[in-house]
Structure 1
Amino acid sequence: MNASAIFNYYALISQHLWAQVLVTVAFYILITVLIEFVVNRVIKRVCATTNTTIDDTLIDFLHTPIYQTVILVGIMHIVMLVDLTPLATQITVKLARSGICLVWLITALKIINFLSTALTAWRQKLGPDLFSLVHKITFLILVFAAVATLFWIWNINLTPVFASAGVAGIAIALAAKDTLANFFGGISLFLDKVYRVGDYVIIDNNERGEVVEIGIRSTRIITRDDVLINIPNSIMATSKIVNESAPYPQYRIKVPVGVAYGTDLERTEAILLDLAGQSDTIVANPFPRVRVRTLADSSVNLELLVWVEDPRDRGIQTHLLLKQIHKRFAEEGIHIPFPQLDVHLAKEKE
């Protein structure tokens, strides 16, 4: 077939609208067949040779949106060929473009959610908190970009809206003051790395609990009473925070013990250290120790210092140690005194 014959076919097709539509449909069907061939025969085979399944999942995510995009582009092309009114053509084209924008927005969000769970190495490298912040900011950027694209497609100019907002804009800014304070407070907490998810913290010497979620707006803490507390990040950023899980995960427990005067303190210390050494939840390094704190009115007050792996074990371990100390002292004949007062009555001389 020479160039002259091709030109004659083109001239014949251009004279008939239905022929142009059929050729356009055939063209886009050919494109989909080629895409199917390249994806199944080339790209998937290459992905199968890799050591990860992430690329295979990404191909599955992109497979359907590519087809949908080809179909929507074909619809735009056919609408431009068909003799419709300018308004109908314009609306149809804008709807198709909006559909393409929404298809790829949904696809991008799915990919972001998948990568946030699949990239465990990056999560460990950046830390779960910073990784979560990056994920949420990326989500907001994608949504904002999609909304801006839709405004551009439909020729919506927001400048007059913002210019005419006036007092309403100031009111909105004042209303969003706390939201912005919480957002930037969350950014400062992430950058300063004050705490992480899983840490035990004390807020202003009042609330104590485990950090279960650090969001853009607030931080959630669950107490030992299984009460969930939601604290705005602006408050967290300006509060005194004691992180019991940092810089080391071990937490020190102080167990006060009182013995009677006349008790062999060396023997008492050995007994306390022996009890600490028998517990499986008490760490060996730092090693347990006993310190004499005060010579009180009725007793010699000592303190057993031990470390546990997790701050959440503080209560139960203190409970177990006190029970074991009470039992062992009773077996060893070590007296635990209690405050008492002797009153001597003097007899008056006759």
Structure 2
Amino acid sequence: MKSVFDSVPSDFRLLSVLVTIVVITFMVNWAVIAIINRLEASKLATASVDKTALNFAKRLISVVIYGVGVGACLTRIPELDIVGHSLLTGAGILTLVGGLASQQVLGNIVSGFMIVFFRPFRIGDRITVSGNYTGTVEDITLRETILRDAENNRIIIPNSQISSEVVVNANHTDNKICKIIEVGVGYSSDLEQAMTIMQDEIVKHPLLIDQRTEEQIRDNAPIVPVRVTALGDSSITLRAWAWADSPANGFVLQCDSYVNLKRRFDEVGIEIPFPQRTISFADGSRVNSLAEDPKERNAH
């Protein structure tokens, strides 16, 4: 049977075959990814398919398609025919990968599979890794997880590292968040009035949500409970628990509440103590020490 490449000069026949395989590989990958993207854009797929797993699967499919294309190219080269058939049939592929890839790369790929399978977080979740890095999960690739922080920076963490760290996920099963609003008031202040002001100001905030159970509503439990949590050296600590429907709204609720509480406390004369320090010197020692130490003199 004649081939379409028989009319090509023998010197360029191998090159034309390889170019054709490469073009077909790119076209197949483009077509498959386009179909997946179209399914992803449909309402049916959006409602039933996890975007995190879908993005991970697209990258994995691309790797497989390009791997098949590379194997097909190798089978056309006589010197590499055995390697090409091994790559296509899958025989010895683990040995090939193990010889070419480092342990760290393989660890990241395996960890990526574990993240997608067990779903400790997904694309769009806001997470904190080991208390150091906080951001929204933007993408999970075969090698790394990409976070976008509040300053629009990208934090790139290898999958093997993030899978072994403690991760705080604000969106794992519930987007709602409880913000703790804590204020210290002076011992001479009207404690009951301060607690009432805290409840009134926080309840008025438009981002506050009611998280009371039906039983708590029947018992007239406050929407925002306020408790005395500590009797400090110079102040009484009041703590309020306020709920918002998302971490972003919770942050705004907390910030606005501090501003409103400071304004209301100033209006009614409730003191918010702050540290004050008085330093006393024996007669004559102050002048001598200031002269000896210029840094201390500047501090005073």
Q: Work out whether 1:278 is the aligned partner of 2:204.
A: yes
Deviations 1:218-272 (A, max 9, x none): 1111222333211111101111111122221122211111223354444433322
Deviations 1:19-50 (A, max 9, x none): xxxxxxxxxxxxxxxxxxxxxxxxxxxxxxxx
Shift of residue 146, structure 1, vs aligned partner: 1.8
Distance 1:264 1:146, change over 3 A: same
Of the three residues 144, 150, 156, the one matched with 1:218 is 144
Letter of the aligned partner of 2:272 in structure 1? I
- Tell me how far apart the structure 2 counterparts of residues 189 and 327 of structure 1 sit (CA, whole Å): 47
Of the three residues 259, 278, 296, the one matched with 2:185 is 259
Checking the alignment, whether the CA contact within 8 Å between 1:128 and 1:197 is kept in structure 2 is: yes
Q: Which residue of 1 aligns with 2:25?
A: 105
Matches within 5 A, 1:1-350: 76=3, 88=10, 92=13, 95=16, 99=20, 101-120=21-40, 121-155=44-78, 156-159=80-83, 173=99, 176-261=102-187, 263-285=189-211, 287-338=223-274
Distance 1:182 1:341, change over 3 A: closer
Letter of the aligned partner of 1:76 in structure 2? S
Shift of residue 195, structure 1, vs aligned partner: 0.9
Distance 1:191 1:170, change over 3 A: closer
Checking the alignment, whether the CA contact within 8 Å between 2:182 and 2:237 is kept in structure 1 is: yes
- Tell me how far apart the structure 1 counterparts of residues 203 and 252 of structure 2 sit (CA, whole Å): 16
Q: Which runs of 5+ in 2 are unaligned?
A: 87-94, 213-222, 279-300
Q: What TM-score, normalized by structure 2, do the two folds share?
A: 0.72
Deviations 1:167-214 (A, max 9, x none): xx8997386111101111111111111111222211112222222111
Deviations 1:275-295 (A, max 9, x none): 122222232336433222112
Question: Which secondary structure does the structure 1 equivalent of 2:31 belong to?
Answer: helix
Percentage of matched positions with identical amino acids: 21
Q: Which runs of 5+ in 1 are unaligned?
A: 1-72, 163-168, 343-350
Checking the alignment, whether the CA contact within 8 Å between 1:94 and 1:154 is kept in structure 2 is: no
Checking the alignment, whether the CA contact within 8 Å between 2:112 and 2:160 is kept in structure 1 is: yes
- Tell me how far apart the structure 1 counterparts of residues 58 and 101 of structure 2 sit (CA, whole Å): 26
Question: Which secondary structure does the structure 1 equivalent of 2:117 belong to?
Answer: helix
Over the aligned positions, Cα root-mean-square deviation in angstroms equals: 3.5
- Tell me how far apart the structure 2 counterparts of residues 321 and 175 of structure 1 sit (CA, whole Å): 54
Checking the alignment, whether the CA contact within 8 Å between 2:71 and 2:84 is kept in structure 1 is: no
Distance 1:292 1:115, change over 3 A: farther
Bigger shift: residues 332-341 or 281-290: 332-341
Distance 1:160 1:331, change over 3 A: closer
Question: Which secondary structure does the structure 1 equivalent of 2:81 belong to?
Answer: coil
- Tell me how far apart the structure 1 counterparts of residues 26 and 277 of structure 2 sit (CA, whole Å): 78
For these two proteins, the number of residue pairs brought into alignment is 257
Distance 1:285 1:108, change over 3 A: farther
Q: What TM-score, normalized by structure 1, do the two folds share?
A: 0.63
Distance 1:292 1:247, change over 3 A: farther
Bigger RCO of structures 1 and 2 (CA < 8 A, at least 6 apart): 2
